[in-house]
């Protein structure tokens, strides 16, 4: 068993990771849903560029995103100047800095399943709703959202799990501050650096089990829906 | 009481240009081959597609220069070809969806609509557990529960097989007889139109090429589209007698009487009779030594060419009713069927439709 101070540090990292992933997922569902709705239905020329920007984190190394976010949110960056002017202070190396970075980093994993679900629903049920006197907003909440439920389930699970699993972006934006920015993946890295393989095993093994359970849940839930 | 609909629309490879004045009650059929623009016209009326033009329903303007009511603000009911029930709601909740958003109460009770379409046993089922015919019945009830002032039906039977069609048609007939709102019914099937419609608009290439009361329009031989095997006359008749021994019924119409298969309709009831042109043959004198039961004296009014050069379509008058007969051109010449000539029509098959 790990010694007591290390156990507290490990539990702190787990709790912080959970908070970060929860806040990020909730924010992503709120921000991602309108983006996904727009991407699924627009015929605008902007659909391609916006979709590509949303998908960028899938192909870019996390360090690239971390680097640019660091510059943007730093004292000389546009976002940094704004947050200082607004009295929030600078975001890098804070919990909320991590949240902002995670929102960008996990965006495609939330937007794409929701967008696919909206596209699969198509125009037909919404036209039917309109002929039954449902105004557009009414039709969105009473028809589109419930029909897209499997997409939202996938988006929630993937967004949460992907945020739990990030490392590079966290390290660049958050650094390694206990209980503030030191999440599980960073804590594992620390243990390994310090040759504390036993402690690393507890956390790393836990992550493996967590990831397996998440994917198992995903495949059984969406699989059942498909039948 | 009327529907004034004028639309112009230009899409790549398709244009719609109609100016219609339709009756404000009864069933109007928009009839034509697929691609003739009948569904697009219906979608323009619903505001689902936007064509330039004007639309007024019984004095209420829904669209005009500077006016365009969005679909959800038009008090209409729309039944799509593919039913479009909400998959996440059971039948009862699909119906509630319409009921809750209805602008006003229904003139007929909600329960009566559910009963009219025979939905009582289905209320707790999910749409995926319904047959195509059942889905379509729910879709019709759902449209009616939104208390529409105009009912639009877009080929509600086209996706169904023959047996399912026969299951729905009686419901549509009851609807026609009991509804007090105008119905516009899109179809490419002449038998449905003959059975359900009161007024007919024939469409071709995005234009209305003929329109008028059903019987008069169907009996025309100058229609710009050929009905082929579906050419025939439709008229009203009354059941006068039922013969139990031979299982036949005698119906009277303006022009005489016909013996038809007894389909159980009570004496005194009004029925619609349809006689296809291909089932009518002509003779210069009365022949009693043939198997055909229905022989009537008639006058030749006119004839017109058919698609195949061997065939000809003859329009006849029997009393106050017009009939069509399809013959070969050779027979027509042999019988010397000039307009005004008195002949005997021999009718091989008569269908009672609704």
Contact A146 B48 (CB under 8 A): no
Distance CA A185, CA A204 (A): 8
CA dihedral B58, B59, B65, B69 (to 10 degrees): -60
Contact B71 A131 (CB under 8 A): yes
* pLDDT (tens digit per residue) in B136-167: 999 999 999 998 999 999 998 888 888 888 88
Is the pLDDT reported for residue B103 higher than 80?
A: no
Chain A partners within 8 Å of B75 (Cβ): 133
Predicted local distance difference test score (pLDDT) of residue A3:
57
CA distance B73 to chain A (A): 6
Predicted local distance difference test score (pLDDT) of residue B175:
83
Rounded to a whole number of angstroms, the distance between the first and last alpha carbons of chain A is: 45
Closest-CA residue of A relative to B75 is A133
Predicted local distance difference test score (pLDDT) of residue A52:
94
CA distance A220 to chain B (A): 20
The mean per-residue pLDDT over the stretch B346-353 comes to 87
Is the pLDDT reported for residue A225 higher than 70?
A: no
Predicted local distance difference test score (pLDDT) of residue A125:
96
Contact A130 B101 (CB under 8 A): no
Q: Is A161 on the interface with B (CB under 8 A)?
A: no
Predicted local distance difference test score (pLDDT) of residue A108:
96
Is the pLDDT reported for residue A227 higher than 50?
A: no
Is the pLDDT reported for residue A226 higher than 50?
A: no
Mean pLDDT of chain A: 89
The mean per-residue pLDDT over the stretch B204-230 comes to 85
Closest-CA residue of A relative to B103 is A133
Nearest to B98 among A132, A135, A146 (CB): A132
- Most B CBs within 10 A among A123, A127, A132, A139, hence the mutation to make, goes to A132
The mean per-residue pLDDT over the stretch B188-216 comes to 91
* pLDDT (tens digit per residue) in A4-55: 557 788 888 889 999 999 999 999 999 999 999 999 999 999 999 999 999 9
Residue B326 — φ and ψ, nearest 5°?
-110, 125
Q: Which band of pLDDT confidence, cut at 50, 70 and 90, is reported for residue B105?
A: low
Q: Which band of pLDDT confidence, cut at 50, 70 and 90, is reported for residue B177?
A: confident
Distance CA A126, CA A143 (A): 7
Q: Which band of pLDDT confidence, cut at 50, 70 and 90, is reported for residue B305?
A: confident
Contact B103 A133 (CB under 8 A): yes
In eight-state DSSP terms, residue A74 is S
Q: Are B182 and B26 in contact (CB under 8 A)?
A: yes
This prediction has a pTM of 0.85
Predicted local distance difference test score (pLDDT) of residue A224:
60
CA atoms within 13 A on the CB side of B50: 9
Is the pLDDT reported for residue B107 higher than 80?
A: no
CA distance B154 to chain A (A): 12
Q: How many residues does chain A have?
A: 227
Predicted local distance difference test score (pLDDT) of residue A5:
57
B155 exposed, middle or buried (CB, 10 Å; 0-12, 13-18, 19+)?
Answer: buried
Whose structure tokens read 């019709």? B140
Contact B88 A135 (CB under 8 A): no
Q: Print the SS3 string covering chain B.
A: CEEEEEEEEEECCEEEEEEEEEECCCEEEEECCCCCCHHHHHHHHHCCCCCEEEEEECCEEEEECCEECCHHHCCEEEECCCCCCCCCCCHHHHHHHHHHHCCCCCCCCHHHHHHHCCCHHHCCCCHHHCCHHHHHHHHHHHHHHCCCCEEEEECCCCCCCHHHHHHHHHHHHHHHHHCCCCEEEEECCHHHHHHHCCEEEEEECCEEEEEEEHHHHHCCCCCCCCCHHHCEEEEEEEEEEEECCCCEEEEEECCEEEEEECCCCCCCCEEEEEEEHHHEEEECCCCCCCCCCEEEEEEEEEEEECCCCCEEEEEEEECCEEEEEEEEHHHHHHHCCCCCCEEEEEECCCEECC
Chain A partners within 8 Å of B69 (Cβ): none
* pLDDT (tens digit per residue) in A180-196: 888 888 888 888 988 88
The mean per-residue pLDDT over the stretch B292-309 comes to 90
Is the pLDDT reported for residue B1 higher than 80?
A: no
- DSSP-derived secondary structure for A109-133: HHHHHHHHHHHHH-SHHHHHHHHTT
The mean per-residue pLDDT over the stretch A133-142 comes to 95
């Amino acid at each position: 068993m790990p010694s007591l101070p290390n156990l507290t540090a490990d539990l702190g990292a787990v709790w912080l990771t959970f908070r970060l992933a929860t806040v990020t997922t909730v924010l992503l569902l709120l921000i991602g849903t309108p983006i996904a709705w727009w991407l699924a239905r627009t015929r605008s020329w902007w659909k391609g560029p916006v979709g590509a920007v949303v998908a960028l984190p899938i192909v870019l190394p996390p360090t690239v995103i971390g680097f640019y976010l660091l510059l943007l949110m730093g004292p000389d960056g546009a976002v940094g100047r704004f947050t200082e002017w607004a009295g929030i202070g600078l975001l890098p190396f804070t919990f909320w800095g991590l949240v902002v970075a995670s929102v960008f980093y996990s965006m495609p994993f939330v937007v794409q399943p929701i967008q696919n679900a909206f596209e699969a629903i198509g125009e037909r049920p919404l036209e039917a709703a309109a002929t039954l006197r449902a105004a557009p907003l009414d039709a969105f909440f009473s028809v589109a959202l419930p029909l897209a439920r499997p997409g939202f389930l996938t988006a929630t699970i993937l967004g949460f799990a992907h945020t739990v699993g990030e490392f590079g972006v966290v390290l660049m934006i958050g650094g390694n501050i206990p209980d503030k920015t030191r999440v599980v993946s960073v804590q594992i890295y620390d243990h390994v650096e310090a040759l504390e393989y036993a402690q690393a095993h507890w956390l790393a093994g836990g992550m493996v089990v967590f990831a397996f359970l998440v994917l198992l849940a995903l495949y059984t839930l969406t699989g059942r829906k498909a039948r | 009481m009327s529907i004034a609909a004028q639309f112009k629309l230009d899409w790549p490879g398709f244009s719609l240009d109609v100016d219609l004045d339709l009756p404000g009650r009864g069933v109007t059929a928009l009839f034509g081959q697929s691609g003739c623009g009948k569904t697009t016209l219906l979608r323009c009326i619903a505001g689902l597609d936007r064509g330039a033009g004007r639309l007024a329903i019984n004095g209420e303007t829904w669209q005009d220069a500077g006016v365009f009511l969005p679909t959800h603000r038009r008090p209409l009911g729309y039944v799509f070809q593919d039913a479009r029930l909400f998959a996440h709601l059971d039948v009862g909740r699909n119906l509630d969806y319409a009921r809750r958003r209805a602008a006003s109460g229904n003139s007929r009770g909600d329960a009566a609509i559910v009963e009219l379409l025979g939905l009582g046993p289905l209320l707790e089922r999910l749409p995926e557990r319904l047959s195509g015919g059942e889905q379509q019945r729910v879709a019709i009830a759902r449209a009616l529960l939104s208390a529409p002032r105009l009912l639009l039906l877009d080929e509600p039977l086209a996706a169904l097989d023959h047996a399912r069609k026969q299951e729905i048609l009686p419901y549509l007939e009851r609807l026609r007889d009991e509804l007090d709102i105008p119905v516009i019914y899109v179809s490419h099937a002449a038998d449905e139109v003959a059975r359900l419609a009161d007024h007919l608009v024939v469409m071709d290439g995005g234009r209305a090429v003929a329109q008028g009361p059903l019987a008069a329009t169907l009996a025309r031989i100058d229609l710009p589209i050929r009905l082929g095997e579906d050419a025939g006359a439709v008229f009203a008749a009354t059941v006068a007698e039922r013969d139990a021994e031979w299982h036949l019924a005698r119906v009277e119409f303006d022009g005489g009487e016909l013996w038809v298969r007894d389909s159980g309709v009570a004496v005194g009831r009004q029925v619609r009779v349809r006689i296809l042109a291909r089932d009518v043959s002509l003779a210069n004198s009365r022949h009693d030594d043939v198997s055909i039961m229905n022989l009537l004296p008639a006058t030749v009014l006119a004839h017109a060419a058919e698609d195949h050069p061997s065939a000809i379509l003859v329009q006849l008058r029997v009393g106050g009713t017009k009939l069509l007969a399809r013959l070969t051109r050779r027979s027509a010449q042999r019988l010397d069927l000039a307009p005004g000539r008195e002949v005997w029509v021999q009718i091989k098959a008569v269908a009672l439709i609704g």
